[in-house]
Amino acid sequence: MEIAVQTANPYTVYVERGAAKRLDELCLGYHKVCLVVDQNVYDLYSEELPSLTSETYTFVLPSGESNKNLTQYARLLSYLAANRFDRKDALVALGGGVTGDLTGFAAATYMRGIDWIGVPTTLLSMVDSSVGGKTAVDLAEGKNLVGAFWQPKAVLIDPDYLVSLPEAERKNGMGEVIKYACLMGGDAGKAILAGELPTDRLIAACVQYKADVVKQDELDKGVRATLNLGHTLGHAIEQLSAYSVPHGTAVAMGLGIVARSAYDKGRLNKRDFEAIEIALEELCVPQVPYTIPQLCRQALHDKKVEGSTLHLIDIFGLGDCRIVDIPADRLEDYLC
Amino acid sequence: MEIAVQTANPYTVYVERGAAKRLDELCLGYHKVCLVVDQNVYDLYSEELPSLTSETYTFVLPSGESNKNLTQYARLLSYLAANRFDRKDALVALGGGVTGDLTGFAAATYMRGIDWIGVPTTLLSMVDSSVGGKTAVDLAEGKNLVGAFWQPKAVLIDPDYLVSLPEAERKNGMGEVIKYACLMGGDAGKAILAGELPTDRLIAACVQYKADVVKQDELDKGVRATLNLGHTLGHAIEQLSAYSVPHGTAVAMGLGIVARSAYDKGRLNKRDFEAIEIALEELCVPQVPYTIPQLCRQALHDKKVEGSTLHLIDIFGLGDCRIVDIPADRLEDYLC
Q: Can you give the CATH number for the domain in which A312 is found?
A: 1.20.1090.10
In a domain, A207, yes or no: no
pLDDT, mean of residues B158-186:
96
Computed from CA positions of residues A75, A80, A81, A82, in that sequence, does the dihedral angle turn out positive or negative? Answer: positive
Alpha helices in chain A (DSSP H): 23-27, 39-45, 70-82, 97-109, 123-124, 167-184, 186-193, 199-216, 231-240, 247-264, 270-283, 292-299, 331-335
> Which pLDDT score, from 0 to 100, does residue A90 have?
98
> Which pLDDT score, from 0 to 100, does residue B304 have?
52
State how far residue A273 is from chain B, nearest Cα, in angstroms.
34
In a domain, A158, yes or no: yes
Q: Are residues B157 and B12 in the same domain?
A: yes
Q: Are residues A129 and A183 in the same domain?
A: no
Coil, strand or helix at A83: coil
CB contact (8 A) between residue A145 and residue B31: no
In a domain, A205, yes or no: no
Is residue B58 scored above 80 in pLDDT? yes
> Which pLDDT score, from 0 to 100, does residue B307 have?
60
Mutate to test the interface with B, among A30, A112, A143, A221 (most CBs of B within 10 A): A112
CB contact (8 A) between residue A84 and residue B302: yes
Domain that holds residue A299: 172-197+219-335
> Which pLDDT score, from 0 to 100, does residue A70 have?
98
Mean pLDDT of chain B: 95
pLDDT, mean of residues B247-266:
97
> Which pLDDT score, from 0 to 100, does residue A303 have?
60
C-alpha B269 chain-centroid distance: 28
| Structure confidence at residue B302 as a pLDDT band (50, 70, 90) | low
In a domain, B204, yes or no: no
A184-192 contact pairs (CB < 8 A, 24+): A184/A209, A184/A319, A185/A317, A185/A318, A185/A319, A185/A320, A186/A318, A186/A319, A189/A318, A189/A319, A190/A275, A190/A318, A192/A279
> Which pLDDT score, from 0 to 100, does residue B303 have?
59
**CATH number of the domain that B115 lies in?**
3.40.50.1970
Q: Are residues B260 and B127 in the same domain?
A: no
Q: Are residues A179 and A321 in the same domain?
A: yes
Computed from CA positions of residues B201, B204, B208, B214, in that sequence, does the dihedral angle turn out positive or negative? Answer: positive
Instruction: Please tell me the total count of domains within chain A.
Output: 2
Q: Which residues in chain B touch residue A141, judged by CB atoms under 8 angstroms apart?
A: 78, 81-82
Look up the pTM and report it. Answer: 0.95
Q: What ipTM goes with this model?
A: 0.94
> Which pLDDT score, from 0 to 100, does residue A300 have?
86
Strands (E), chain B: 2-5, 11-15, 32-38, 55-61, 90-95, 115-120, 134-139, 142-149, 154-157, 309-317, 320-327
Q: Are residues A263 and A124 in the same domain?
A: no
Which residues, given as ranges, of chain A have pLDDT below 50?
A: 306
Taking alpha carbons only, the member of A198, A207, A205 closest to residue A162 is A198
Measured between alpha carbons, how far is A93 from A20 in angstroms, rounded to an integer? 11
Burial class (CB in 10 A: 0-12, 13-18, 19+), B307: exposed
Question: Which tens digit of pLDDT belongs to each residue from B105-144?
Answer: 999 999 999 999 999 999 999 999 999 999 999 999 999 9
In a domain, B208, yes or no: no
Is residue B72 scored above 60 in pLDDT? yes
The residue among A164, A186, A209 that closes a domain is: A164
Alpha helices in B10-137 (DSSP H): 23-27, 39-45, 70-82, 97-109, 123-124
Residue B77 has phi, psi (to 5 degrees) of: -60, -45
Measured between alpha carbons, how far is B37 from B324 in angstroms, rounded to an integer? 39
Q: Which residues in chain A touch residue B91, judged by CB atoms under 8 angstroms apart?
A: none
User: First CA to last CA across chain A, in angstroms?
Assistant: 43
Q: Are residues A57 and A189 in the same domain?
A: no
Computed from CA positions of residues B295, B301, B307, B313, in that sequence, does the dihedral angle turn out positive or negative? Answer: negative
State how far residue A238 is from chain B, nearest Cα, in angstroms.
18
Q: Are residues B290 and B239 in the same domain?
A: yes
In a domain, B202, yes or no: no
Q: Are residues A191 and A274 in the same domain?
A: yes
Q: Are residues B106 and B229 in the same domain?
A: no
Mutate to test the interface with A, among B145, B300, B304, B305 (most CBs of A within 10 A): B145
The residue among A164, A187, A208 that closes a domain is: A164
DSSP H helix total and E strand total for chain B: 13, 11
Residue B163 has phi, psi (to 5 degrees) of: -60, -35
Computed from CA positions of residues A215, A218, A221, A225, in that sequence, does the dihedral angle turn out positive or negative? Answer: positive
The residue among A164, A182, A209 that closes a domain is: A164
In a domain, B36, yes or no: yes
State how far residue A225 is from chain B, nearest Cα, in angstroms.
14
> Which pLDDT score, from 0 to 100, does residue A301 have?
77
Q: Are residues B122 and B9 in the same domain?
A: yes
State how far residue A171 is from chain B, nearest Cα, in angstroms.
29
Q: Are residues B324 and B250 in the same domain?
A: yes
> Which pLDDT score, from 0 to 100, does residue A304 have?
53
Q: Are residues B122 and B65 in the same domain?
A: yes
In a domain, B210, yes or no: no
